[in-house]
Chains A and B, each alone.
Chain A
């Protein structure tokens, strides 16, 4: 999860109340924020591209602009920030303005549904045919009169970035463009563009540099952002393009804006668009963004979007969603008595509109909340408003009887026995590879479960046996005092067509003794003792097994309830296997299947 630094002074100013660091942290946490701590950030402005780079005071910094890589940086300010680990469900609390809105409610400074005035810009976005299968939907808004200092520029940039992460699924579901309204001529077109139909200078390029002028295809192939997001347009014959009435390119969603429409510190009025395949995601993203800008002092205006089929929409739409809450359900879920009247108060604290209506609660969900899918989501906000720290914990009074799993009980008994015999338990990793599982043990590689996307070539399959893990452990301990007696109890995996997930699992015990005098007799004595304590009959049957010295290996059978099962294998490990594992002491090992004893 991304960490975001919220400027503390700005936050307190927007909240309208002095809070010390502890009070602020506490209130933020009680609202559900994961607060990392306080820090100081230094802001640099790039002389070349104007990009603002923010760096933590004690962080290593290479003194280059995060936007264009130039080293011409000027320090433009510092802020104390509170760092928050973002949780993706509440994008409306990702930035200083949204947090201040929530805090004002929680602290009782301003409660209930926030009201935003929506003017009419009169601007239109015309959606042209041909984007239905590319990136069909667009919403847009105008925000005027935001005072942009460096800190605010950074806030807006971060907001955009974090919304892309949380709601946009890294721009796939929603991608946001913010432009300086003064640089465009209203009357917009959202239309398909051929890969080499035109050229424009993408963000970060110098307008006077002829090489910066690129075709859409060129951007995907050459521009860093283009390359990073090219997969989102993979296989498309045309790309989306947003242009103004003068034919000027605003952006090529979801890849990049044009340099010409860049937001700078002198920007006062914004044009904003969000595009994507998911109408809900783009609507919510726009709502979160514009309401936060309104909290920062912006005046919101609507834009009219027209689709090829004639559908007309006016965006943004900040109408709250109506929901009905049954107070009894809330009481049941919360587990403490709370009257409907108090619930409305708590909901208002959490910035909902709410009123009691004949035993039910009429709830208005603010347009910037994207996480309210169910009555339960609203109930959670009642709990947060009430304060988790105010809830009196108690136990479920219902009596239930514990029931252990037989395989775990047996495993515990086997562990007790093995430690009684003086063995140390080891735990090794389940993920392994065919070379260690089979080749090292001189075994032919059978069909086995396999991972499609292993993180390393060492770990491509769940283990097939426990012997490999024990031998690896002995290798790592080759400089430690001998003899060494170790064991492991764990699961091994194989293929099984009849199983629900096509994979069989067996609980096994493996034990090994290494040292100058370790030999077959140790293993046999141990096996006999285990069989006796586990009340199982026992039979040995000499066998040739590639992993063990010929003539010093046996299959082990056990009898339970008049039936005989193959229990496992026991023997002195073959010197070539020891060589493979780089072990220089004799080793006797056994591996037994515990499932047959349950």
Chain B
């Protein structure tokens, strides 16, 4: 006893009376042809069904074909009749007038090709052939072919084998129709004919074939009872749409933060943090930014009114910083040559960069070797627009090392941004208040091209010496929002924080 899946059983049964094309079987059992073919292949593998491939041509009528047929007489037949009525001769110049149309080239061509006329100089002369049975108005294979095609049901197709009315000489018709391809369509196809093999027929006659039960959901009962062997499973169409699923995901900007963090941890950096509400001392003074520097003005920096002032570090450090501002102290600098005021340094601000964090780390332990980074929220007094927010995430890093120098600064930054996905990194001299030399870093980011990534440099001795540091310190810093915007194709920074749930769902995890 053989239990066959539904489609195989149906196919088997449909072929049993005699050979059938796949198309016919599909019509009969109301299945898609591909499913019948799949079933036939399975049956053929088991030796019960033979699949025979027959190449054939399929013809169908076109609009032009229907039109010419509807006219009754084909153009050259019409022309021949007119020429005959004129005595069987006409000059080519007169022909248009006779036929009542300007362009008679086609008529002339077919009259000549069919042998109904010949040219005598400029004159067209009718032959006797035009009057025979194959002549104008007579039965011609091509006319008959087009006629047969046009009288069939709309959409019906005729093939070369056996399916045209027996009297039509298809080959002769096709020969005559060369150059009249617009009248009909011809398509080459392979018809697959299914028939039972000897063993297939035998199996059926012995009533050894049965249809298996079809199930949708596999159940525990089917598994445990072993009945799954007797069933077939409903076939599913993988192209049907299913309801979309979205995983829980971290925020796109957070992904950039985590990638940055991971890259730096992998490079041996230590992570630090510091107060977001910061004294002007750490945010500006410790970085040798003079107290009348425009960046310190209320225009650009958020100052706190509650609380208003913070505690400064020990007097010794404050004095070293103050002296450096005033006359360079013992840093070898000329200083800014002004009177430094402690009250201004005590003022609390929302930190304007995380360099306030790294300089604190430097002051805490200025001894090499150290690699330090911080990622945190920073604030600038900007009005909100598509490219500005008053708050943003910044990465800052420093390296305190005997071997800290311009070459190793460039090397470290190149390595870091290559880890962040840049294809190439290049540098340009720049100017920042607390680094010397200073560098601007550009990275080539795929289709975005060259993008400015961060500012960098070697801390000025006016910054490092008061902190008790005697070796060069490499420093760099930059915002992360821009990288996230580029990655996720945003043109407006506000969209990052607007957090449209549909956008969060769609933003791909993959870089």
Contact = CB atoms under 8 A, between A and B. Distances in A.
Contacts of B408: 335, 393-396
A557 B333 CA distance: 56
Interface of A: 29-32, 34, 87-90, 169, 172-173, 278, 280, 332-336, 371, 373-377, 379-380, 383-384, 388-389, 391-405, 407-408, 412, 415, 418-431, 447-456, 459, 462, 473, 476-477, 480-481, 484-486, 491, 493, 495, 499-503, 505
B123 interface: no
Interface residues of B, number: 103
A442 to B, nearest CB: 23
Interface in B431-470: 431, 436-440, 458, 460-462
Contacts of A428: 497, 499
Q: From B350, B414, B437, B458, name the one whose CB has the most chain A CB atoms within 10 angstroms.
A: B437
A476 B407 contact: no
Contact of B410 (A88, A388, A398, A402): A388
B430 A449 contact: no
B462 A449 contact: no
Contacts of A473: 499
Contact of B501 (A34, A384, A427, A477): A477
A313 to B, nearest CB: 17
Contacts of B431: 32, 87-90, 371
Interface in B479-511: 496-502, 504-505
B181 interface: no
9 contacts: A380-B438, A394-B411, A395-B411, A396-B369, A424-B504, A427-B254, A451-B304, A462-B276, A503-B275
Contacts of B272: 405
Contacts of B472: 332-333
B199 to A, nearest CB: 56
Contacts of A88: 431
A373 B428 contact: no
B474 to A, nearest CB: 8
A491 B276 contact: yes
Contacts of B410: 388, 391, 393
B499 A453 contact: no
Given A32-B429, A87-B430, A392-B407, A402 B270 contact: yes
Contact of B334 (A374, A383, A404, A412): A374
Nearest to B278: A501
A420 B249 CA distance: 8
Given A395-B415, A455-B383, 11 more contacts: A334-B405, A334-B407, A374-B461, A388-B439, A396-B401, A398-B401, A408-B261, A450-B304, A451-B302, A456-B383, A505-B276
Contacts of A34: 430, 440
A455 to B, nearest CB: 5
Interface in B266-301: 266-273, 275-279, 292, 294, 298
A391 B249 contact: no
Contacts of A399: 268, 369
8 nearest A-B residue pairs (beta carbon): A335-B405, A335-B407, A502-B307, A419-B248, A32-B429, A380-B437, A393-B411, A393-B410
A16 B498 CA distance: 54
Contact of A400 (B250, B270, B273): B270
B250 A419 contact: yes
A486 B294 CA distance: 41
Nearest to B338: A278
Given A451-B305, A452-B305, A495-B307, A396 B266 contact: no
Interface in B292-332: 292, 294, 298, 302-311, 328, 331-332
B310 A421 contact: no
Nearest to B505: A424
B254 A500 contact: no
Contact of B460 (A87, A374, A393, A450): A374
A459 B383 CA distance: 11
B390 A422 contact: no
B337 interface: yes
Contacts of B304: 449-452, 503
B384 interface: yes
Contacts of A418: 248
B458 A333 contact: yes
A506 to B, nearest CB: 12
Contacts of A407: 273
A396 B403 contact: yes
B390 A402 contact: no
A26 B333 CA distance: 32
B126 to A, nearest CB: 76
Interface stretch (B64-72, B83-91, B170-178, B374-382): B374-382
Contacts of B332: 374-375
Contacts of A456: 383-384
B353 interface: no
Contacts of A173: 292
Contact of B250 (A371, A396, A415): A415
Contacts of A412: 258
A288 B474 CA distance: 31
B73 to A, nearest CB: 68
Contacts of A424: 246, 248-249, 251, 501, 504-505
A72 B454 CA distance: 46
A430 B371 contact: no
B251 A403 contact: no
